A and B are shown apart, each in its own frame.
Chain A
Amino acid sequence: MQPESSLHPVPRRRARIRLSAFGPLLGLAALVALATALNPAFLTIANIFNVLTRTSFIGIIAVGGTFVIIAGGIDLSVGSMAALLAGSMILVMNALAPTLGGGWLTIVVGMLFVVALGALFGLGHGLAITKGRIEPFIVTLGTLGIFRSVLTYLSEGGAITLQLGLSNVYSHVYYGSFLRVPIPLWVFLAMAILGAVLLNRTAFGRHVQAIGSNEQVARYAALRVDREKIVTYMIQGVCVAVATILYVPRLGSASPSTGLLWELEAIAAVIIGGTALKGGSGSVPGTVVGAILLSTIGNVLNLTSIISVYLNAAVQGVVIILVAFLQRGREAR
């Protein structure tokens, strides 16, 4: 394989990229076929919407993660950030309800607040990483702990709960539909399209990819590396905030177990989707497929009982590795 590909690099490489782009989709198709064979209820509209709606949190976060990872960074804090954003949003809305009323005005202010806070957290990460010159792994590992403990402190370890009236109004955002499709799905779709356009059709997107493949060269090419990197972390923060906006109306509460291990799921979705963990290249549609694939595994396991529940995590592990195997290639050279 090795000498052959170096003799004919161009066609070889093309074929590989095409295969690797379809890898996760292939995995997903196989999983869907298997699931339908095991339990026909899988292919019902209701179940498909359940799975996709559930995916929207991780999916939207992973869209942001795609930018961070392509630029050569990583954000481990997203799960904790989601928890803290959810808790802060609920506290703010509860506090505003007496003055602004228990309706949409309070909720919209809450949404704006949480997006601003998410962007601010991202800005903090970006500044610490670029100006502070601290490894992103360390910065975000630190904030992973900070965000979650601040939430635990605010909730005294219990749950922060949205007022009942607000919760009833707001719940439409998660449970409501537009043109028969659940609202979270529309938001997920919009964020994915926005992300894909930003990554592939703008100068910013090209800069991000250039920085990820070789930061030194990008600097010599007079790209504003620091600024672009900061922006990727801010995009990540805003994506987490959007996911939070969809998450809060689901249960109307935030607790220390909110968003637990979401960072690993989001990073896994990005990587399964074909983005290189070392940065430089990747795609938003791939990430979307990766995220859907991850949540489908859990759904399939719940819909069947052929495998002992003790082995659920093992099944997930096997599927993830298999899919990664299908989309391998680019780094193998």
Chain B
Amino acid sequence: MKRIYQLIVVVALALTATAFAQDQKVIGVSIPAADHGWTAGVVYWANQAKAQVEEAYPNLSIIVKTAKDPAEQANQIQDLVTVNKIDALVILPYESAPLTKPVADVKKQGVFVVVVDRGLTDPSIQDVYVAGDNPGMGRVSGEYVAQKLGGNGQIVVLRGIPTVIDNQRYDAFMEVMKQHPGIKVLDAQYANWNRDDGFKVMQDFLTRFPKIDAVWAQDDDIAVGVLRAIQQANRSDIQFVLGGAGMKEFVKMVMDGDPLVPADVLYPPNMVDTAINVAAMHYVSGSAVLGTYIVAAPLVTKDNAAQYYFPNSPF
């Protein structure tokens, strides 16, 4: 039964593949499935980029695939090569290590490889790397908190899920804090990039510390829970909450001048859009498209928030 099903899928995919004309170039995009806000943004922007690039360059076609775990993603890129005959692969690896070998195999078959956000463990595989700046995000956040507090105060930190990304952000943030001995980091706990955990952890921080000047929530989903917990506890000692990533609701709050949310630090899911466009450039411009493109993590404030506000995106 399962075999038959697989066969049907393979035949269907093969038919779509042969439908493309010979001189067409096919770009395969492999990204994690939308299982939380940020990845939802990635899926949204990948589809936006597909529509825009296919419209602008009729000789390019783009296939967007989402995977719910690294194993599925590895199978998927194999299928993209053997069945869809892709010329270029844009991949946001679910995890670095387990996908390095599968992408290397794809590369060996002559596919142009663009890696987004999370790097592979062997950087020589990729032709282009469109990287999110995680240390930069931590650093910019740290500098903003330090400057806003005037170098003095007590803060709490809510971390994401124990991963390289979280460590890079946290370490860079703490590095900045070292230069400001007047600021005391009371504690840092994991809130798993999740609203409910943000609420719980913040409630407990509020119970534990009678005076908190600022909160670095690192992520806007966590910050949603943090804001609710502060509201419930009726505490007025907290001057501001700094989230991150650029969720539309938060960019809107910054735009509207919410006193608790004076700024946000961008870690834009539309970096996948950038990457797809870079891959397209490889085919439409004659010049060399190689190297690393680091997407900056700028500070979003009231003055520039409008340019980062995308009301149609789910994130």
Contacts and interface: CB of A to CB of B under 8 A. Distances in A.
Given A156-B34, A158-B40, A309 B196 contact: no
A50 interface: yes
B201 interface: yes
Contact of B207 (A46, A156, A301): A46
Given A158-B314, A251-B196, A305-B187, A310 B162 contact: yes
Contacts of A155: 40, 314
Contacts of A202: none
Interface stretch (A1-9, A127-135, A253-261): A253-261
A267 to B, nearest CB: 19
A295 to B, nearest CB: 9
Interface residues of B, number: 39
B204 A157 contact: no
B148 interface: no
Given A155-B314, A312-B190, A251 B199 contact: yes
8 contacts: A41-B208, A156-B44, A157-B35, A157-B44, A158-B37, A250-B228, A253-B224, A255-B37
Given A157-B35, A260-B194, A54 B315 contact: no
Interface string B40-77: 11011000000000000000000000000000000000
A303 B207 contact: yes
A231 B187 CA distance: 47
B186 to A, nearest CB: 9
A104 interface: no
A256 B194 CA distance: 10
B274 interface: no
B239 interface: no
Given A302-B200, A312-B190, A255 B207 contact: no
A159 to B, nearest CB: 6
A156 B40 contact: yes
B204 A250 contact: no
Contacts of B192: 257
A50 to B, nearest CB: 5
Interface string B82-113: 00000000000000000000000000000000
Interface of B: 33-37, 39-41, 43-44, 159, 162, 187-190, 192-196, 199-201, 203-205, 207-208, 221, 224-225, 228, 232-233, 249, 313-315
Contacts of B314: 155-159
A41 B37 CA distance: 34
Contacts of A163: none
A309 B156 CA distance: 14
Interface residues of A, number: 33
A158 B44 CA distance: 10
Nearest to A260: B194
Interface of A: 39, 41-42, 44, 46-47, 50, 54, 152, 155-159, 161, 175, 250-251, 253, 255-258, 260, 298-299, 301-303, 305, 309-310, 312
A256 B37 CA distance: 8
A309 B188 contact: yes
B34 A253 contact: no
A320 to B, nearest CB: 18
Contacts of B313: 158
Given A54-B200, A255-B195, A305-B187, A175 B232 contact: yes
- Please name the 7 residue pairs, one residue from A and one from B, whose CB atoms are nearest each other, closest first: A157-B34, A157-B40, A158-B314, A302-B204, A156-B314, A158-B40, A47-B207
> Which of B193, B195, B201, B204 is most buried by chain A, counting CB atoms within 10 A of its CB?
B204
A157 B36 contact: yes
Contact of B208 (A156, A158, A175, A303): A303
A39 B187 CA distance: 14
Nearest to A256: B35
Contacts of A175: 232
A255 B196 CA distance: 10
Contacts of B207: 41-42, 44, 46-47, 50, 303
Contact of B37 (A157, A251, A305): A157
